[in-house]
Amino acid sequence: MEVRPVVYGQSSRPPRGDYSRAASDYTCTQNYAAYTEVEHATWRQLYARQRALLPGRASSDFIACLPLLGASERIPHFEDINTRLQAATGWQLVGVPGLIPEVDFFRLLSQRRFPVTDWIRTRDELDYIVEPDIFHDLFGHVPLLFHPVLADYMQAYGAGGLKAADLGATELLARLYWYTIEFGLVREADGIKAYGAGILSSAGELAYSVTSPIPQRLPLQLERTMRTRYRIDDYQHTYFVIDDLQQLLDFASSDFAPLYDRLRQLPEIAADERLPGEASIPV
């Protein structure tokens, strides 16, 4: 099978990453020696900036798990993280050259293998990058893979993704990933906090998502979430809020096939649309 680069949404930049190194499942070995001192400095700056922004904004689960990443000064070796991650939740990180096809992504998750992009953004992309890089993947996603409930949810999501592909429903299920794993919020005793990787790895959206009066914040309901379109080129107009991570795992045990059939009969909801009777959760 020929491995081809995957283009992401509205990015005008050509695909990055060396796909010629990838195996048939799109995984590749991390070429650690290829990282430059400038790239390590980029990692260090991004890590320090995001870490300073977490208190009062990031979920308590994320803050508790972040030290397990153990990589504040330099881009980490995947194998070093894997030793700790395997012992904690049975997950492993695998390198990928960039974005990969949905089915391959789902299959890796179903095997408790998390794909991590092996390149880092340039200095002029510190504040915004369209496609995920190694900082987004490691800082944003991996800490909560040390949490047993989120780890189980991610595997269940991958297995569900393979079923969705067979049912022609990957776009519907992708919205659930977007509004939970990438841009999810959780209600805690002292307020709304972020647990989604797209928020946690973004300096601007981390504060915006939990303090700005502009976006609406709605309780997570499967049907509402999976009908809602999203934007990849701007801060989110709508966030969905869970009570705790267990709620995600409970959702994952649902039979999605009847839900897909129902959703196909309903209109999509715009990213910034509020339905009659909906009230945004105050912050």
- On whether 237 is known to bind a ligand per the annotation, the reply is no
147 assigned binding-site residue: no
Query: Cα-flanking dihedrals φ and ψ of residue 269, to 5°?
Result: -115, 130
**Residue 118: DSSP 8-state:** -
**Amino acid in the structure at residue 74:** R
Residue 114 CB partners (closer than 8 Å, separation 6+)? 91, 92, 93, 94, 108, 137, 141, 142, 145, 154
- CA gap 229, 197 in Å, rounded: 18
124-120-184-159 Cα dihedral, nearest 10 degrees: 150
CB atoms within 10 A of CB 12: 5
The two counts, helices (H) then strands (E), for the chain are 13, 6
* φ/ψ of residue 67, rounded to 5: -60, -25
Q: Is 223 annotated as a binding residue?
A: no
Sign of CA pseudo-dihedral 140, 273, 210, 281: negative
| Known binding residues for Fe cation | 136, 141, 182
Binding site: which residues? 136, 141, 182
